[in-house]
Amino acid sequence: MNKKKDFLRTIVENDLKSGKYKEIVTRFPPEPNGFPHIGHAKSISINFGIARDYNGHCNLRMDDTNPTKEDTKYVHALEDAVKWLGFDWGEHLYFTSDYFSQIHDYAIKLIKMGKAYVDSLCEDEIREYRGTVTQPGKRSKFAQRSVEENLDLFERMKNGEFKDGEHVLRAKIDMSAANMKMRDPLLYRIRHAHHFRAGDKWSIYPMYDFAHCLSDYIEGITHSICTLEFENNRDIYDWVLDTLELKPPRPYQYEFARLNINYTVMSKRKLLELVEGGYVSGWDDPRLPTIAGYRRRGYTPESILNFCDQIGIAKANSVVDVAQLEFCIRDGLNPKVPRVLCVLDPLKVTIENYEGSEELEAPYYPHDVPKEGSRKIPFSKEIYIEKDDFAENPPKGYFRLTPEQPVRLRHGYIISCKEVIKDENGNITEIKAEYYPDSKSGAEDTSGIKVKSAIQWVSVADAKKVEVRLYDRLFKNEAPEGIEDLNPNSLQIIKNAFIEPAVITEKPDERFQFERQGYFYTDPIDYSDENPVFNKIVGLKDSWAKKAKTKQTAPKPQPKKVQVDGEVAPMTDEQKILFEKYTNELRLNSEVSNTLARDKFLSNFFEDALCAFNCPVSISNIVVNEVARELKQAQADELKFSAGHISQLVKMIDADTISSKIAKQVFEEMAKTGENPTQIVKAKGLVQISDPAKISPIIDEIISNNPDNVAKFKAGNTKLLGFFVGQVLKKTGGKANPKVVNELVAQKLQ
């Protein structure tokens, strides 16, 4: 085995040597509530890779414990992703719902042992009773119920006799535990919702922490590998298995750092916002970091796995440069794909001293690629070249065609410019040229003419017109925070590009290098012989860094360092207390909690805003994103807005007065002027439109103006739903309620 040893493989090898397990069994346990992304690819490569390396097997298990968010389409997307990446679960496809009866039996056992009870506190009371990091919690009075009463109530919960939230089943552990997740965690909650597999059989569903460890045990998992945000959950994992005194061998949980990439968002919530808001064409939009998006763009599974292997498996979270992923894609394509000629922005060239036509022999691969194959390129009197391959007044160092400088046509002849034809506005429309008959590329060139470059071209009479989609990074900022950071130039569609005919007629491959342009892929959905469509996979080199450098006028302040000698700097005791409070008591995610805990100003600002309006998740997101961004540009005492302003802003979002997208606009105005957000919304007329009667006429107009897309949608291209939603949001300046728009558009297109 040539794979570099990581800490997980070290653990596995030690367990095998000690005889702890006879066979290694891992699992990939996604929740089917969205399309898998590049972060899932890393988890897939780790879990399936370890099982393969040690002659074990990996289970694919859908963690379908929340019927309100899950769907069969997400199950299929997850299965497709695993298969496409080259892994096979064989007979080992499972669903947590397969074990609902067994998990329920384990819950009954805990109740009979006096280790679980039915609690009737409301959600707010449960949160209040949990205590804080510095203060122990208080156990519910309902914990004193007898075993018989708990069994009766739990059975009635299962039978659907109670409303959602009326009761929960909790473990009885320790309300003063330092790890707040151990303070009588929830095991079951009531959900009157149809389950996509179990139907309406169950009215109660197990919580992740209870179902996960038991599913692992039932399946015989040996190493349950999770990302770092589940580190505190490990105590519950162990408590459940130990308390039930399950027969060994039992699984153990291990954590690794999740994958974060700059210029990229991988939050399911943010990805869903992009899809449902119409900012992208669907889950398989080639600009998204989803496996479906990468696949449609033309990325190869081998290159993605190579990337996952290169970045390794770490114990501390960090951010990977997206250029590293792009390098892996480029590096994987270079020795495989044929080189062809394509002109994206055509300029006509008439070669006045050439008559007739001929075919030029040209190899598909350069001399350093050990592959064979060639084609014949038609050559004639009229050709297209790229507009920027001619300069009437060339800058210094310009080596292409000019009035004084000849150039070689790739695989063909040398030409020189004789006359420049322009329209009435002074735009160049045609070049009159001449060719040198004895300059044919290769051994036949006896002209003795020296040229400094060769350019791509196609014959006007023979070239095939194609659509080319040039994809760039979806976000313009290295650490994108939301919709406002979208790159407006992330997609350029060229309808009238021209390509040499062999690409279409002979189809030597699905992926190509368009010489001097980049790597391209035949779009798997929209391509047809009548209307060929090509997606840009990646450029020939990383041009983004150069673009970013030229746009940057002054160095920006850098965030505070939190690493020492490559390791994350340890938190102080005070920071640890705050982190525990934010993650356990306020239920913020670990990344947000980490940012707040380490920055005293942000944590104080957050606490002040929370006092005015108790909505911790929404407030924290604005504080660690928008407020933190403003602090990079100004000192704290220079901020024109207050914590009270933030709480008012969140209150309007919570009340559906404004959308999240409009909230970004309001914040920007508030940051500039210091004006009250309520007044900004009123003055600018930014109140969210949720009335179907006001939205319906706009939808009708857009549907009427796009009959072709309506026909495609009804023919089965349901991804166009995002197009119609996006048009409505654009028409209303982002003020239409996306949820209402989605529902109405779906209804009207049926």
Binding site: what residues are annotated? 31-33, 37-43, 63, 208, 227, 258-259, 266-268
d(CA 600, CA 609): 14
Q: CA 488 → CA 476, 483, 484, 736, distances in Å?
A: 8, 11, 10, 21
109-131 burial: b if 16+ Cβ within 10 Å, else e = ebbeeebbbbbbbeeeebeebbb
Q: Given 13, 31, 467, 668, which residue is catalytic? A: 31
Token readout for 401 is 């065609």
Q: Which of 210, 195, 198, 258 is nearest to 42 (CA)?
A: 258
Respond yes or no: is residue 163 known to be catalytic: no
Q: Answer whether 59's CB lies under 8 Å from 251's CB.
A: no
Q: What is the DSSP string of 150-198?
A: HHHHHHHHHTT-S-TTS-EEEE---TT-SSGGGSS-EEEEE----BTTT
The 168-171 sheet, strands edge to edge: 116-119, 168-171, 186-190, 204-206
Beta-bridge partner residues of 466? 497
DSSP 37: B
Cα dist from 68 to 122, 190, 193, whole Å? 20, 12, 6
Binding residues for L-glutamine: 63, 208
Q: 258, 295, 297, 661: which is the annotated catalytic residue? A: 258
Name which of 717, 719, 721 is nearest 749 in CA terms: 721
Q: Is 258 one of the catalytic residues?
A: yes
H or E, element range at 681: helix 677-684
The encoded tokens of residue 30 equal 């996604």
Concerning whether 511 is annotated as a catalytic residue, the answer is no
C-alpha span between 518 and 520 (Å, rounded): 7
Tokens of 591: 């990344």
Answer left, alpha or beta for residue 442, where phi above 0 means left and psi between -120 and 50 means alpha. left
Q: Which residue in the list 69, 156, 268, 381 is annotated as catalytic?
A: 268
Residue 64, burial from CB neighbour count under 10 angstroms (0-12, 13-18, 19+): buried
- Nearest CA-CA partner of 57 in 48, 69, 68: 48
Alpha helices of 435-498 — where are they, by DSSP H?
Answer: none
CA–CA separation, 474 vs 351, rounded Å?
A: 42
What SS3 state is found at 319?
strand
Instruction: Decide: 341 and 377 in contact? Cβ < 8 Å.
Output: yes
Query: How far is 265 from 275, CA to CA, in rounded Å?
Result: 13
Q: What is the DSSP letter of 623?
A: I
Which DSSP letter does residue 729 get? H
The candidate with the shortest Cα–Cα distance to 484, out of 629, 267, 644, 635, is 629
Q: Torsion-angle region of residue 674: left (phi > 0), alpha (psi -120 to 50) or beta?
A: left
CA 592 to chain centre: 19
**CA proximity to 418, closest of 438, 436, 404:** 404
Residues taking part in catalysis: 31, 258, 268
